[in-house]
Amino acid sequence: MPDDTNEAAGEPDSVVDAVFDAVAATAPAIRDALPGRRVESDDENPSGETVLAGDMYADELLGEALTAVDGVGAYVSEERPDATDAGEGYSVAVDPLDGSSNLRSNNAMGTVVGVYEGSLPATGHDLVAAGYTLLGPITTMVVADESGVREEVVTRAASGDVTRTVVDDDLTLPDEPTVYGFGGRVPDWTDAFREYAREVEDELKLRYGGSMVGDVNQVVTYGGVFAYPALTDAPDGKLRLSFEANPIAYVIERMGGASSDGTGSILDVDPDGLHDRVPLYVGNETLIDRLETALDE
């Protein structure tokens, strides 16, 4: 634990705040860079996926900004095979540009952030805070820590100064679920998940845009369920535990919702490697309970 945190005194953690300051400060610069970076790079990420120039640029900017924060000991990115050492302190895991395939079609995307105590890989119980930015029509940032979940609007003045304005200081999941979004191709879903999905389709409205941050933010706003499920040819699904699933599970659980890998909370999953994948189901508790029952039958 870095010395300059105030967590022991029950005060907001100053390192966590500095981390989200850095993430917020980077968001307008990432947005600026997108128009010229819709093309594929020649690289693959450690998960074997083709990387867009936008992914690489976002990773560079976030890497620079976060390793410069006092109290951050490691920068760990979906786009880098190993952690980048930054001294003593928290490990900050990021998916620099989640939903980057939405860049060509000009739809929502953002950055996912998990602040872990100690080194990675670790379980989600080592998270001290997590959140995401959403580059939609406006730039927002959702930040969760021990004290709760907040939504902020991120703006940049002509001077270049970036401001975080809290617009909701106590985000909780709406009691009445309204929307659902499920990833992967229907023919690749398991029979048990397909059956669950048919029930959910009768009850809720489909909202799926192909970026986890955008689709999860629909659930955060309206209540419901988001999943990137286990697929018949990919039993661990697509999303990565350290960079995507854990931070999102942490946010949803802090809002009073639930997360699952199909059998229990995402935060309980013990990874072998930094880039492990996991099926992700998050949303209102009743819907996640029903999902676990459906997958167990």
CA nearest neighbour of 261 among 243, 241, 286: 241
Check whether 238 is labelled as a binding-site residue: yes
Q: Could you tell which of Mg ion, ligand AHM, none binds residue 101, using a CB distance below 5 to 8 A set by kind?
A: ligand AHM
In the complex, residue closest to Mg ion by CB? 98
Angle at 247 between CA 203 and CA 274, to 5 degrees: 125
* Interface characters, 150-169, with Mg ion (x: CB under 5 A): --------------------
Residue 41, SS3 per DSSP: strand
User: In Å, how far are 10, 28, 243, 256, 287 from 179, measured between CA atoms?
Assistant: 36, 29, 24, 17, 11
215 in contact with Mg ion (CB under 5 A): no
Neighbours of 201 (CB within 10 A): 12
Contact present, 92 and 48 (Cβ < 8 Å)? no
- State the nearest-atom distance from the C-beta of 29 to ligand AHM, in Å: 19
- State the nearest-atom distance from the C-beta of 210 to ligand AHM, in Å: 5
Q: Could you tell me which stretch among 36-44, 98-106, 216-224, 275-283 binds Mg ion (CB under 5 A)?
A: 98-106
The site for ligand AHM (CB under 6 A) is made up of 49, 95, 98-101, 183, 210-212, 228, 238
Check whether 4 is labelled as a binding-site residue: no
The nearer residue to Mg ion, 79 or 98, going by C-beta atoms, is 98
Check whether 59 is labelled as a binding-site residue: no
Angle at 147 between CA 219 and CA 26, to 5 degrees: 65
Q: Could you tell which of ligand AHM, Mg ion, none binds residue 268, using a CB distance below 5 to 8 A set by kind?
A: none
Q: What is the DSSP-derived secondary structure letter of residue 244?
A: I
95 in contact with Mg ion (CB under 5 A): yes
User: In Å, how far are 8, 42, 64, 275 from 2, measured between CA atoms?
Assistant: 11, 38, 20, 26
- State the nearest-atom distance from the C-beta of 133 to Mg ion, in Å: 13
Check whether 101 is labelled as a binding-site residue: yes
CA nearest neighbour of 262 among 224, 288, 297: 288
Structure tokens at 261: 């890998």
Check whether 98 is labelled as a binding-site residue: yes
Q: Could you tell which of Mg ion, ligand AHM, none binds residue 151, using a CB distance below 5 to 8 A set by kind?
A: none
Q: Could you tell which of Mg ion, ligand AHM, none binds residue 49, using a CB distance below 5 to 8 A set by kind?
A: ligand AHM
Q: Could you tell which of ligand AHM, Mg ion, none binds residue 150, using a CB distance below 5 to 8 A set by kind?
A: none
Check whether 199 is labelled as a binding-site residue: no
Q: Could you tell which of ligand AHM, Mg ion, none binds residue 152, using a CB distance below 5 to 8 A set by kind?
A: none
Distance from C-alpha of 140 to C-alpha of 258, rounded to nearest angstrom: 23
- Please name the residues in contact with 157: beta carbons below 8 A apart, sequence gap of 6 or more: 163
Q: Could you tell which of ligand AHM, Mg ion, none binds residue 183, using a CB distance below 5 to 8 A set by kind?
A: ligand AHM
- State the nearest-atom distance from the C-beta of 212 to ligand AHM, in Å: 3
In the complex, residue closest to ligand AHM by CB? 212
Q: Which of 13, 55, 79, 98 binds Mg ion (CB under 5 A)?
A: 98
Check whether 100 is labelled as a binding-site residue: yes
- Please name the residues in contact with 152: beta carbons below 8 A apart, sequence gap of 6 or more: 24, 140, 141, 142, 143, 164, 165, 166, 167
Residue 245, SS3 per DSSP: helix
Residue ranges in contact with Mg ion by CB under 5 A = 95, 98, 244
Known binding-site residue numbers for Mg(2+): 78, 95, 97-98, 244
